[in-house]
């Protein structure tokens, strides 16, 4: 495992692609040692690690909570100044509110809730750093603006969101901070094409697309620990303040139809 030297370190789960990669790149560009977790995107993870000034790529199947916890413990033994854990990895599979699919539910709970919670616990117990540690859990604006689509996914995000204030109260020291970061629609997802995403991503109060760089910037700000521990920061152009009867994927299709 490559040495981080004296640099502060951050682990970004799901850091090889999409928003996770944007977060990893932002930390690398301002002088952090970045640990890029990946599940199946080995080529993208290694390419991004090679691009950044100080970075490594590390594999873990987050559907295995024991493996996820072990990854954190191994990193804690290696990183002398590990300041931030960002749980960005997520699965986003469709099932309906009228029929919960058991396999979809189990996978969502394991990847989106169980492993992030266990990783946060291990990080807060094991990681050493100069100053307080920061856990940033990426959730979803659906927590305040629910709709019946992607039922198991949404349940899993509620579960990990509930863990944030509890971890802040019971697992963190006085110097540590535990946060939730709730984005809105940002990148094409599920089965969307670019034209559909252009419509759906403007279905918010500001009528604009929230950029992935805004999520990365929010993570950099939260890493400073200014916000009260246990808080949720919404970065969604006001989407969570609306009432939307369906996921914006389907609202956009209805508009175009």
Closest CA to 196 of 248, 252, 255: 252
CA distances from 11 to 118, 147, 162, 256 (A): 14, 31, 22, 40
Share of the chain above pLDDT 70, in %: 98
* Residue 143 backbone class (left: φ over 0; alpha: ψ -120 to 50; beta: rest): alpha
CA angle (198 as vertex; 195, 204 as ends), nearest 5: 150
The domain spans of the chain are 9-256
| For residue 1, pLDDT beyond 60 | no
CATH assignment of 9-256, given 3.10.180.10, 3.30.300.10, 3.30.565.10, 3.40.50.720?
3.40.50.720
Q: In angstroms, rounded to a whole number, what is the distance separating the alpha carbons of residues 76 and 50?
A: 22
> In 171-211, which residue ranges form alpha helices assigned H by DSSP?
194-200
Q: pTM value?
A: 0.94
Per-residue pLDDT tens digits for 116-171: 999 999 999 999 998 899 999 999 999 999 999 999 999 999 999 999 999 999 98
- Quickly tell me which residue has 């539910």 as its tokens: 105
Q: In angstroms, rounded to a whole number, what is the distance separating the alpha carbons of residues 165 and 169?
A: 6
Per-residue pLDDT tens digits for 202-240: 888 988 888 999 999 999 999 999 999 999 999 999 899
Bridge partners for 216 per DSSP: none
């Amino acid at each position: 495992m490559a040495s981080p030297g004296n640099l502060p370190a951050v682990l970004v789960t799901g850091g090889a692609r999409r928003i996770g990669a944007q977060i990893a790149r932002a930390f690398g560009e301002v002088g952090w040692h970045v640990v890029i977790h990946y599940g199946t995107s080995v080529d993208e993870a290694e390419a991004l690690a090679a691009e950044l000034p100080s970075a490594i790529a590390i594999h873990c199947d987050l559907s295995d909570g024991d493996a996820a916890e072990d990854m954190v413990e191994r990193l804690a033994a290696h990183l002398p100044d590990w300041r931030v854990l960002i749980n960005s990895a997520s699965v986003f599979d469709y099932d309906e509110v009228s029929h919960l699919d058991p396999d979809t539910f189990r996978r969502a709970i394991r990847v989106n809730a169980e492993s992030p919670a266990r990783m946060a616990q291990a990080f807060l117990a094991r990681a050493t750093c100069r100053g307080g540690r920061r856990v940033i859990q990426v959730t979803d604006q659906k927590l305040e603006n629910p709709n019946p689509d992607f039922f198991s996914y949404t349940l899993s995000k509620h579960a990990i969101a509930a863990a944030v204030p509890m971890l802040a109260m019971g697992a963190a020291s006085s110097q540590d901070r535990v946060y939730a970061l709730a984005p809105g629609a940002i990148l094409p997802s599920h089965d969307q094409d670019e034209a559909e995403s252009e419509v759906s991503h403007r279905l918010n109060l500001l009528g604009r697309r929230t950029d992935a760089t805004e999520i990365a910037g929010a993570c950099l700000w939260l890493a400073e620990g200014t916000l009260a521990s246990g808080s949720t920061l919404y970065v969604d152009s006001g989407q969570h303040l609306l009432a939307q009867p369906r996921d914006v994927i389907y609202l956009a299709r209805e508009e175009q139809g």
